[in-house]
Amino acid sequence: MAQKTSSHAGKRLPNQTRRRQIIEQAIIFFAEQGFGASTRELAERIGITQPLLFQHFSTKQALIQAIFDTLFERMASKDWGAMLHDRNKDLRSRLIDFFSQYAAALYDNSWIRIYMFSGLAGGAFNRLYIASVTEPLLREVAVEIRASLGVPHSPSDVSAAETELLWILHGGLYYTAIRRHIYGMDSPSTDLAQVVEAGVDSILHGMKGLAQRAKVPGGRKNRRVVAE
C-alpha cells in the first residue's frame, strides 16, 4: 500500500549497498523522531519491508550502534586541526575559521539531534566522542593561544581552567545551534559568523587573563566577596 520514497521502485540492491542505505536513512529518521521510533515506519520511509531491516541488523540496537559508528567515523575523520596550525594566518582568523566550521558541522547531517538523544539515553557514545575528538581539539586550540601569548605551550601546560573556558565557547556555539535548529527559535538579525567572532574575541581575552594569572604562583582563588 505504501509507496517507496526512493527515486525508482523496488530494485534489489547488493548487501552492502542496502546496508549503507538503511544506515543513512536511519540517521535522518532517528534524528527526527528519536530512537524510540518504530522500525516499521523507518522501513516504510526507505521503501522496504520491516523484516528486511532485521536481515541486515540482528536487533534494533545493533542498527543504532551502526549509526553511532558511522557518525563517529564521519566526524572524527575530518581534519580540523590543520586549519588551526596554518601559521600563514593570524591566530584570531584561524580561531574564527575553526569554530565557524566546527559549529556548522555540529548541526549538519542530523548530528546534533542524534548526539542529544544518545546523551539522554545514557550510552558511552558522547563520552567517547568528547574524549577522542572534542577534548583534543580544544587542547590544540589552547596550545595555539598560549603559543601566540608567548607562554609555555606544550599540551601539559594547558590548565583545566583554560580548557573550561574554551568549553564555554564551544558549548555556547553548540547551544546556539540547538536554539536555532531544534527549538526553532530564529535569531534573524545576527548570523553565526558574527556570533563566533564576538565569542572568539571574548575568549581570547579571557585566555590571556588566565595565562597571565597562572604565572603568579598561588594565584587568585577569590571567593565571591559580598562586602558590605
Partner DNA sequence: CAATTAACTTAGCGTTCGATAAGTTAACTG
Partner DNA sequence: CAGTTAACTTATCGAACGCTAAGTTAATTG
* 41 binds DNA per the rule CB under 7 A: yes
Of 32-40, 83-91, 103-111, 201-209, which part binds DNA (CB under 7 A)? 32-40
- The residues that touch a second copy, with contacts defined as CB under 8 A, are 34, 36, 88-89, 93, 96-97, 100, 113, 116-117, 119-122, 126-127, 130-131, 160-161, 163-165, 167-176, 178-179, 182-185, 187, 189-190, 193-195, 197-199, 201-203, 205-206, 209-210, 220-228
Residue 4 grid cell: 517507496
Instruction: Give the CA-trace dihedral at 116, 122, 127, 128, to 10 degrees.
Output: -100
Of 31-39, 149-157, 188-196, 212-220, which part binds DNA (CB under 7 A)? 31-39
Distances (CA, A) of 209 to 44, 81, 214: 56, 24, 8
Per the CB < 8 A criterion, the answer to whether 102 and 137 are in contact is: yes
Task: Work out what residue 215 binds among DNA, a second copy, none; the CB cut-off runs from 5 to 8 Å by kind.
Answer: none
Per the CB < 8 A criterion, the answer to whether 114 and 181 are in contact is: no
- For residues 180 and 205, give the distance between their C-alpha atoms in angstroms, rounded to a whole number: 27
Distance of closest approach, residue 100 Cβ to a second copy, in angstroms: 8
Distance of closest approach, residue 68 Cβ to DNA, in angstroms: 16
Q: What letter represents residue 12's amino acid?
A: R
Residue from 48, 84, 141, 200 that binds DNA (CB under 7 A)? Answer: 48
Task: Work out what residue 189 binds among DNA, a second copy, none; the CB cut-off runs from 5 to 8 Å by kind.
Answer: a second copy
Q: At CA 105, angle to CA 75 and CA 81, rounded to 5?
A: 60
Find the DSSP H helices in the chain.
Answer: 15-33, 39-46, 50-56, 60-76, 80-85, 91-107, 111-121, 125-129, 135-149, 160-181, 192-215
* 5 binds DNA per the rule CB under 7 A: no
* 58 binds DNA per the rule CB under 7 A: yes
* 2 binds DNA per the rule CB under 7 A: no
Per the CB < 8 A criterion, the answer to whether 223 and 163 are in contact is: no
Distance of closest approach, residue 3 Cβ to DNA, in angstroms: 11
Q: What letter represents residue 189's amino acid?
A: S
* 8 binds DNA per the rule CB under 7 A: no
Task: Work out what residue 212 binds among DNA, a second copy, none; the CB cut-off runs from 5 to 8 Å by kind.
Answer: none
Residues that bind DNA (CB under 7 A): 10-15, 18, 37-41, 48-52, 54-55, 58-61
